[in-house]
Each structure stands twice: as structure tokens, then as C-alpha cells.
Chain A
Amino acid sequence: MSANTDPCAPLLARAEALLEDLHLGTVSAWKAANPGSLAIGIMPVFAPRPLFEAIGVLPVNIYGGGDRVDVIKGDAYYQSYICHIPRSTIEMGLGGHLDALDGMVFPSTCDVIRNLSGMWRMLFPQKYSSYLDLPQTFEAPLGGLFYRHELNRIAAELAERGAKPLTEDNLRVAIANENERRGLLADLAALRAKEPWRVKASEAYLLTRAGAVLPCVEHTAMLRDFLAQAHVRPTRPYDNVRVIVLGAFCEQPPLGLIRTLERSGCDLIDDDFQLGLTTIEGNIPLDEDLGDTSPLDARSPLDAVVLSYTMRGQATATRYIAEQVKGKALVDRVRSLNAEGVILAAPSFCDPALLDQPMIEQALADAQIPFTSFKYAENSAQFQTIREQAGAFSDSVKLWGAA
């Protein structure tokens, strides 16, 4: 499909330009258009974006420098056996790439991001910096209350720095906007799973990632436009293997790597790239009847945000999987999406993803689902080996139904 004939091409080009905008020009433009408003960076994996939007703050998901930032200063802060994203993030901070941001939030993803929060506080003392401790117990009176306190704290701290006070009305609007976006992201995922030739993984990636820097309403409009065009874009099915990618929820693979996988005979019908935008499964349950969630109440918008995480957070390596069977969520997803295999793609030295992997592999093996695994770094430049591995995997799935 050439760019001339593809009605989606302009939107995709815009989304790619946003990804390549390492100096966050869109964020600066937003701030210029909204004088006095704050923009706050959010490290992977998850922080609830509607909370920020409700107080007039632009939440900006930060995914490190990818393969386009030369890491020089950042390497002086990290030993060789630590993943790449914190060093490129520091490089960007020291290099002025993140100057448009008024601060950063570091969710409790792993020890590296946790410690980075303290480093940030010291390296950028003039900026806001906060650690968001997401609960690992999900009962409303325990983790629920604690998380609500965390969200109130962050809202209050940002209000002290010039954000609007958190009100129920504002949060309701932000939740409604977010739910609308979530609906479209779900439509995008459904279309991609049904007709992967219509929405390639790299395209879904770009479109989702645009939401990292755009206000919710703008991102929603972009998704809506894309979906309208995607249904009519001229394209045709390929004889590819339907594959789910898992493990790339924090440090992102280079776009080139995703495209390489696409060219290796795999339709990547689902993934956990940039999981932050899709952590919650379904809507934020505002005013829904969720049964007894006391002392929380989904009629309160803040409680609804809390419950969306405690009750609807996706099973992922950074979330404690209480009594459920590890890997079951993935196996269920493979079945429901009619996937033929799984690619486990983890950043090198990523503790959560790599510690999870043996359990996930076991669950896949037990369910007789073919899988292959590899590691990458955000600045990987050589994709040939991975292409060969993925190619061999797709061939073997096609031939034998197993890797």
C-alpha cells in the first residue's frame, strides 16, 4: 500500500512524528496554548492519566530515548548490567529534552524506576518529582484506601505547584473522556486482532503511543479518524502466523524491531507495549454497580479510578498475581484471540519481565501454545538474528503448529 493511496498515511505520519519528537515540541505547544498549566512526565508502567487531566495537568508518558538518543552522560550513572531506559531517560533530562516538563512521576514498577525516582529528585531538585506507590493488595479497605491516599497526595502536591484543585466534577469529565478513548483503543485492538493486515502492529503502536503526549480528547479524535479510514483502506490479508507479544511493557523495542517482526511472517495481533495506556481492562467503572467495595464507592469518581486499578488492572509482571494461576491471563487471551503462538520479548536485564518468563513459558507449554523468546534493548540496531528467529518460529508454527 503506498502512502499516496493509503488514507491512513497522514495520521500515521503524524503519530510517527510525535514519537520522533524527542524534545516534546507538542508538549511545549500545549503549554504555550494553556499558559500556567503543568505537564508531568510519567515513567512506565502505569499512572492514572485522568487524575492529571482533571487538574489541568498534561500527563506525558516517557519511554526513554529509544534508539535515537546517544547515551553519553546517562551511562555514567548506570552499571552495564542495568537495563537501558533509565540511562537514556537521564540523558534526556540532562540534555534538556524534557525541559517542557514541570516534573516527573515514577510509578512503583521495579527497583530501577524506584531508585531512579530518588536520583531524579537529586539531579533535578527544582522540578516536581514523585514516587507513586501502586498497591499490591487489591482489597478495597487495604490497597484501595492506600492508593486513594496516594492519588490525593499527588493531586494536592501538584495543586501547590499551580494545578487546579481536584474536584469531583472535573474528574468525572476526565473519566468520561478517558473511557471514550479506551473504547476506541479497544476498537483498534479488535480490528487489529480480526484483520491484522488492516492495522499492523507497528501502526497500532504508533497510534497508541501518540496518546503518550496528546491530551486525551485529541488522542481520541486521532483514533476515531484512523478507525474510520482503516476500515476502508485498500489492503489484503497475508498468510501470516497470529502471534501475541509479551514482556515489552516498559523499555520499548525500537520501532524498527517491531517492523522486523512484522516482516518475519508474524501478525502481531496483540502486545503489551506501552502498557500504561491499556493497563485497565474495560472502562473506569464510574457509577457502575460493582457489588460491595466498601469503604470505596464507585459513585465517587476518585474511588472509581482506584477501583479501576484494583479490580480491572491487567495481569502483568509488575502486579502481584494473588491466587490466580500465573500465565492464565495470557493463555486465555491466546484462546480468545485465536492466536497461534506467543513471542516473549523482554528488555535485557529487566527483572520483572525476565523473572516472570519461566512461569509464563510453563503456562504456555502446559497449554501447548508455541512460543519463542528473545531479549532486546531500546537502542538495539541489529535485528537480523531476531528476524531469523521469528521467521523460523512462524515457519514452524505454520508447518507443525508448534515451535
Chain B
Amino acid sequence: MNTQTAETQRGTAAPVRADAAAKDASQNRQKEMLAAYFEKLTRAKEAGQKIVYTFVPGNLNELIGAAGMMNVLPEINALQSGMRGRSGGYITEAEKAGHSEDVCTYVKCDIGMMLNGNIGPTGTKLPEPDLLLLSYTGCFTFMKWFELLREHYKCPVAMLHVPYQPEGRITPDMKQYIVDQLEKSIIPALEKVSGRKLDREDLARRMALSAQAEDDLVAVWESAKHKPSPIDGYFGGVYYIGPIFSAFRGTEDAVAYYRELRSEVEARMALGLGPVGPDGPIGPERHRLVVEGPPNWTSFFDFWRMFSRENAVVCASTYTRVGGLYDLGFRHDYRDPLASLAEYCLGCYTNLGLPSRINLLEKYIKEYEADGFLINSVKSCNSFSAGQLLILQELEKRTGVPGGFIESDLVDPRYFGKANIDNRLQSYFQMLDARKARGYV
């Protein structure tokens, strides 16, 4: 088995799966797409290419593309820094510069990276932003994050305020508010920076491409309803969301990637194969889990192994829905791009009220026939974490499925207590086994 470590994967933009031998064509394709993108970013300034920094949840990728601009996603850089073992140093650097130990470590990791020359995942310097596109979806920290970056880069900021869905429904006023902002504020800001009119036909074309990729991604998610699941919808899932959550939604590249991924997954399903884990194929499937909360990136493979070793497969996760809840039916719609983008922004997972989040998790547990669910509560992220203990109680009550609860962080290695988490997970899996033995499942 040719097992790489995260450290040896420097030079690629995607979190590369440790098991090099098990690489599928789609994985190679993703790697090439990302490498080409970062290569283009490196040369962006000399090519006169305008750069937009923006966030994953609620990103306006089709609009950015149709404005002829490229995006840089600070969250992705932070997670990459976590996987590459850099985040600890960056966070320390930011804390030395006066950032509190209490706040989101993605922000501090990004600030630390910026203070260290803004060297991106591929080892080359990232271009500075021409515009900070602050689409404010599902988390207030985003607003503070770009206020902090603006102090540094002194570049314009375009703010898109996306209302929250406290009752799990989108009202016409919410949608209109976003459409009006896009029309009157965001598009003019993009046009000002790019120096050209938005190409609305191109926008519609990109929206149609997004929908195609989204169809295939949903098929990939839903394959996990099959037993055994051919995918891991959390650890494996973060690879699958790579293109669509980053720079590629609304591109032909994404359409090709998701078509290929889907056919690979369907082939695995037809053969009755389980997912490939960090050390090769996982199986036979022993536990089917639903996971709430982001993963830990600094010990990603160790974390994954704690599951794969037990043949525990995650069939659905909420983290993989932060950049779009396509499996609830939303598709980008070329017929009314701005209204559709508004709906997209409103519908990202962490923009849903807590009761809706619980309903979604309940649905996943039932539809994917999970025998357990796990909450990874990350210290950094109030958006995810505040309320998770109620989520735990409520889901157990509604489904009768036992929940596990662990605490870690996204990119701060100080908060990943490996032995502690491992012990908790082992006890949890033993409990699930015992329940099975008693005929509960």
C-alpha cells in the first residue's frame, strides 16, 4: 500500500487521499483542474486577471465567472494549511499579532498565512484581491473576517447580506432583498472592478452548467442509501465537494468531473463495493453513520482511520451541504439567474434555523438507515456548534438512534486530542455493536 501523508501532498490544491493506489480517474481529474487553476492564479496579475476573494457558503461563482474574474477562497486556503501542517504556526502568528485565542481559527490561519507572504496551497504566492466579495451566508464571522482583510489589503468590499431562514422557509421579501442587492450593489461592484459589463448570457450558461453538475452530485450523495454504501459521505465527501464548492461550479470542468465521479460511484455500487478509505477499501460495512459538523483538518487521516478501522461509513453529513443543499432539490436555474442565486445563498446548510437543521439530520438518519450519528463539535465555529447539544438530545428522542459527541477544531492542532477522541469513538462503536447484538437495529 502506497500511503502518502498529508505532508507529502504539497503541491496540490486538493486534499489528496492518502491511498495513492486507489485513485480514480475523477480524482486525477480534480487534481489537474485544481493545479491548473492555481497555476492560472499565480499568473493572474501579469495577465491582467482580476481576483475576487469570497467565501464558500453562498458563493456567487457563476456571477464571478461571468464577470471574467477568478476567485480565491480563504476558507479553502485555511483548510489546506491545516492539512499541510502549517495552520498551527499561522494561528500562533495571528495570536501574537493580537488575535484572540477564543475566535474562529480559520480566520487566524488565514491572517497568519497572509502575514507570512500569502503562500497558497501550491507553494506559490496567491494574488492579492481586487475585490472582497462578502456574501454573508450562515455565519457572522465572515463579516469580521473581511473587515480584517480589508484593513490589510485596502481594497473595495462588496457586501451581500443574506437573511437567515429562522423558520426554514424563504419568503418573497428575503429573495427580493438579495436580488435587489445583486442588481444594485454586487453586479455594479463587479463591473467596476472588472471594467466590463456583466455578460448575462454567459451567466445563464454557467447556471445551466451548475445544475448539470448538481444533478450528478446528488446522485453521488444518494448512492449512500445503497447497502453497502459505495461512498463515504463525510471524509470521502469532502473530496467530492471540492470542485463545486470552490472555483468550478458553473464550468464545463465541473460537469465533466461530476459525470465521471457519478459513473465511478455507480460502478462501485453495481459491484457491491464499499468506499475507499485512507488505507484502501473499507468493508464490510459495519456501521452506517450520519455526521454533523465540520471535520478536523490537521489530523484528517488519523480522524478518518478511527472510523475506517471500525468499518464505519458515513452515509450522509451536513458539512458537505454548507456550500449548497442540492439533495433537497435546489438547482441553479438559468431562466432567472439572480432569483436562483438568491435562493441558493439562502439555502446553504448553516443558514437554516436550528429546527430545520434537526429536521434535515433526522431525515438523513432515517432515509440513509443510519445506525448512529455523530456530532463533531468544533471550537472555532459558533455557527455550527452553538446548539449542537440540543441537536443531539432531539435527534436521539426523535429517531431512537444513539448519538456520539466529540469536540475538536478545524485547523487548530491544539484542539485535536487524538487519544481522547479515539477512546470516545471506540466506546461509541462498541455501544453500537452492543445494541446490534441486542437486536436494536
Chain A residues near B (Cβ < 8 Å): 76-79, 81-82, 86, 108, 110-112, 114-119, 121-123, 130-131, 133, 135-137, 139, 141-143, 145-146, 149, 317-318, 320-322, 326, 346, 348-352, 354-359, 361-362, 375
Contact = CB atoms under 8 A, between A and B. Distances in A.
Contacts of B173: 146, 149
Nearest to A143: B161
B164 A133 contact: yes
Contact of B163 (A115, A146, A317, A355): A146
Given A78-B389, A118-B166, A136 B151 contact: no
Given A122-B394, A321-B147, A358-B148, A112 B382 contact: yes
Given A79-B377, A137-B185, A321-B147, A350 B102 contact: yes
Nearest to A353: B100
Choose among B145, B147, B161, B185 the residue with the greatest number of A CB atoms under 10 Å from its CB. Answer: B161
A89 to B, nearest CB: 12
Contact of A326 (B98, B151, B390): B151
Nearest to B102: A349
Contact of A352 (B98, B144, B148): B144
A355 B386 contact: no
A116 B386 contact: yes
Contacts of B407: 79
Given A82-B385, A122-B354, A131-B353, A142 B390 contact: no
Contacts of B136: 136
A110 B407 CA distance: 21
Interface of B: 97-100, 102-104, 107, 136, 139-141, 143-145, 147-148, 151, 157, 159, 161, 163-164, 166, 173-174, 177, 180-181, 184-185, 353-358, 377, 379, 382-383, 385-390, 394, 407
A326 B143 CA distance: 13
Contacts of B174: 146
Contacts of A355: 100, 103-104, 107, 141, 144-145, 147-148
B353 A118 contact: yes
A359 B97 CA distance: 11
Choose among B163, B355, B379 the residue with the greatest number of A CB atoms under 10 Å from its CB. Answer: B163
Contacts of A349: 102
| 10 closest cross-chain pairs (CB), A and B | A118-B354, A355-B144, A131-B166, A354-B100, A136-B161, A111-B382, A115-B387, A146-B177, A115-B386, A118-B353
Contacts of A108: 140, 164
Given A117-B353, A149-B173, 5 more contacts: A111-B140, A137-B161, A348-B102, A357-B98, A375-B102
A351 B143 contact: no
A38 B103 CA distance: 38
Nearest to A129: B166
B177 A142 contact: yes
22 contacts: A77-B389, A79-B379, A79-B385, A79-B389, A81-B379, A82-B382, A82-B385, A111-B382, A115-B383, A116-B386, A118-B354, A118-B387, A141-B180, A142-B180, A143-B161, A320-B143, A320-B161, A351-B141, A351-B144, A355-B104, A355-B107, A355-B147
A137 B102 CA distance: 28
Contacts of A358: 97-99, 148
A311 B355 CA distance: 34
A116 B389 CA distance: 12
A119 B354 contact: yes
Nearest to B141: A351
Contacts of A326: 147, 151
Contact of B140 (A116, A351, A375): A351
Nearest to A327: B151
Contacts of B145: 355
A356 B355 contact: no
Contact of A136 (B139, B159, B184, B358): B159
B164 A131 contact: yes
A130 B148 CA distance: 31
B390 A119 contact: yes
Nearest to A120: B354
Choose among A118, A149, A317, A358 the residue with the greatest number of B CB atoms under 10 Å from its CB. Answer: A118
A121 B355 contact: yes
Contacts of A143: 161, 177
Contacts of A348: 102
A114 B144 contact: no
A380 to B, nearest CB: 15
A122 B99 CA distance: 35
Contacts of B107: 355
B104 A86 contact: no
B147 A114 contact: no
A122 B390 contact: yes
Nearest to B354: A118
A142 B387 contact: no
Nearest to B146: A320
Contacts of A81: 102, 379, 385
A330 to B, nearest CB: 14
Given A131-B166, A355-B144, A111 B386 contact: yes
Contacts of B140: 108, 110-111, 114, 318, 351-352
B419 to A, nearest CB: 19
Contacts of B379: 79, 81
Contacts of A78: 386, 389
